[in-house]
A and B are shown apart, each in its own frame.
Chain A
């Protein structure tokens, strides 16, 4: 497929001659038995299923009746077992490095002393929490849950686009997309051996329980902390709590009782051992961070430091996933694992460096420029898709605050077909596998969330920008 008349994108389903690639061969054969009209009917059924299940998100300020669905495309994205095996190794290595890095940053800072990363990258980083210095998280785990965003550019080339080490979301879509496919096309799964993803909540519960704090007696009590029913990811918070058999709590259900964080129950206050929080660091503790936050629990940081509770992910993990640190990840991986990274970074220009800035300004029409702290696809420039005027305006912002930006080449993200009114048509995708870290192991669910840009030619897959999702199949090895 052509990309702005210049770059050819790799299609994961069809090869250059239009024949299905090997991982898709069985599926393509099955698909021939369906007419486009039947597929469209299935697509409508899937939408009804999502609405009834309540897999919707609120748009801030809109009425209840306007709850939105993230578009779901029913053509799966299929990855062969051997392709996945390599990704799995690379992700595990990276996530182990991230945890070692966080431990080092909040203790001896050897990587800084070794001159591998500049001190100011840490010291001037908003996500760095001095309150975490010297704190030993229970079980030594900082990031219990990580989402690693990958993009593919050819048969054998995968790049890490971004690490999500704070509160990665989207895992409920991974599970519900599969659930929907199982309901729509049960016969497919008896024909094609797909690795299951449904045990994620059990593994999440296990990972959290294994990281229980010293104060825990007996079977750990786990709770999910949500900002509340108006949060756009509320469905996911409720879903995970439900699937794990954990309580879903809000800040006002909690308080400090006898040196523990306790929740108000029908039988009085009961201590919580592990809190899977879906609230940002800033809002976690009004006594220690943002004083006006009503989403957190006053004093929880002090209880945490005293070993009274496990917070997952640990406070201060954001220092490992911002876009300025990202460019150092190959060094970080090598420093802590002693081996070169298995998964590549996308080449990145740090605009804080004068030479890099000069290069970026000269090549804006080829590059993607992102804010260091941005997310959700906001505040970025896709050079080749932007107008001359947009590029000029962005160049002015870039010159005013160069350290606020990084730039990367515009990658020809691979495509997978989606079902459109005119039949199958290729669209760009990325992939977010979900990683669970417990003191004794790293577990990666075979699959993840495939996000797809629904608009032709678009490279922005974020759901806030109209992106959709697909079920992701990792085939069994046989």
Chain B
């Protein structure tokens, strides 16, 4: 049992950290594409801005979609509350707010991450520094996660933290897939072209799954297998099904701690069952884009229901 405000702070803190990490990975994938020049960089950046949900905000302050401007906007711009730095600041603000629900180690990991990024991102980033900055974001996220696992009591506070992580991660993976869904369709025209290979590679990279996929599927990338891997694989920590299972488990943790089930539990179990009983062929038959759109809506509704069920607000 804890304050509703504290549960809310934990949940949002971990959503923001997850999103910061994913944004950094998107930037990395986009930057790689821009470097290889195999596709139009501005198209790629545009789809990355769309995935991150900040295309409109970007176009309000920039006329042209160009690597330096996009990287700056997504990493540190004051015009973008969902920049990596903006997200870290919000996460740290939430961490201060819920300081009593965190161990000293978790708090210090967040605080140090914020201090480091504040230093690294205090001025316009030179593209040569980008790899170091991205790896710093990753390291700090990993540190917070490690401290969470290594030092926190695995009670309800842990459940709220994990719920935030997986609601956000499911949202992010679904968005990445949705923006790129057309390259995953088993259409005939592009199959096997080098353009497609680059596109698939980007999708896999933006969820840090390129290596795992290669190990599981050998050298050959087929779009249906990529979609299957990122949607339905129970072993892949960024797959939608994996996220659904984690959400169900953490809600079950709350149900057993509090001795009561809530409406969010039904929603989560329904979402889990839908994925568990589908094959990738079913999903393609029903339409990948439609499937992802619906998933995003349901995931969002689930998040709202959790906030209501556990009294995050008055």
A residues neighboring B (CB under 8 Å): 51-54, 64-65, 229, 234, 238-239, 241-242, 246-250, 252-253, 263-268, 270
Instruction: Say whether, besides A52-B108, A54-B107, A64-B89, A266 and B100 are in contact (CB < 8 Å).
Output: no
7 new A-B contacts, CB < 8 A, other than A64-B89, A229-B96, A266-B310, are A53-B108, A54-B107, A253-B3, A253-B4, A253-B5, A264-B5, A266-B156
A54 cross-chain contacts in B, Cβ below 8 A: 96, 99, 107-108, 111
B residues neighboring A (CB under 8 Å): 1-7, 89, 92-93, 96-97, 99-100, 104, 107-108, 111-112, 115, 118, 156, 254, 258, 310-311, 314
Instruction: Say whether, besides A51-B115, A52-B111, A264-B311, A238 and B96 are in contact (CB < 8 Å).
Output: yes
Whether the pair B311, A263 counts as a contact (CB closer than 8 A) is no
Whether the pair B7, A238 counts as a contact (CB closer than 8 A) is no
A163 to nearest B CB, angstroms? Answer: 29
Which of B93, B100, B254 gathers most chain A CB within 10 Å? B100
Whether the pair A265, B1 counts as a contact (CB closer than 8 A) is yes
Q: Which of B1, B89, B92, B111 contacts A267 (CB 8 A)?
A: B1
Q: How far is the CA of A248 from the CA of B6 in the complex (A)?
A: 9
Which residue in chain A gives the minimum CB-CB distance to B254?
A266
Question: What are 24 of the A-B contact pairs (CB < 8 Å)?
Answer: A52-B115, A53-B104, A54-B107, A54-B108, A54-B111, A64-B93, A229-B97, A239-B99, A242-B100, A246-B100, A247-B2, A247-B6, A247-B100, A248-B100, A252-B5, A264-B4, A264-B314, A265-B311, A266-B1, A266-B2, A266-B3, A266-B258, A266-B310, A268-B311
A278 to nearest B CB, angstroms? Answer: 14
B187 to nearest A CB, angstroms? Answer: 48
A97 to nearest B CB, angstroms? Answer: 35
Whether the pair B156, A242 counts as a contact (CB closer than 8 A) is no
Q: How far is the CA of A253 from the CA of B97 in the complex (A)?
A: 13
Whether the pair B99, A242 counts as a contact (CB closer than 8 A) is yes
Which residue in chain B gives the minimum CB-CB distance to A240?
B100
B2 cross-chain contacts in A, Cβ below 8 A: 247, 265-266
Q: Which of A51, A248, A264, A265 contacts B99 (CB 8 A)?
A: A248
* 9 shortest interchain CB distances as A-B pairs: A238-B99, A266-B310, A242-B100, A248-B100, A241-B100, A264-B4, A266-B7, A267-B1, A265-B1
Q: Which of A234, A250, A266, A267 contacts B96 (CB 8 A)?
A: A234
Q: How far is the CA of A53 from the CA of B115 in the complex (A)?
A: 11
Whether the pair B97, A270 counts as a contact (CB closer than 8 A) is no
A51 cross-chain contacts in B, Cβ below 8 A: 115
B314 cross-chain contacts in A, Cβ below 8 A: 252, 264
Which residue in chain B gives the minimum CB-CB distance to A245?
B100
Instruction: Say whether, besides A238-B100, A242-B99, A266-B311, A65 and B1 are in contact (CB < 8 Å).
Output: no
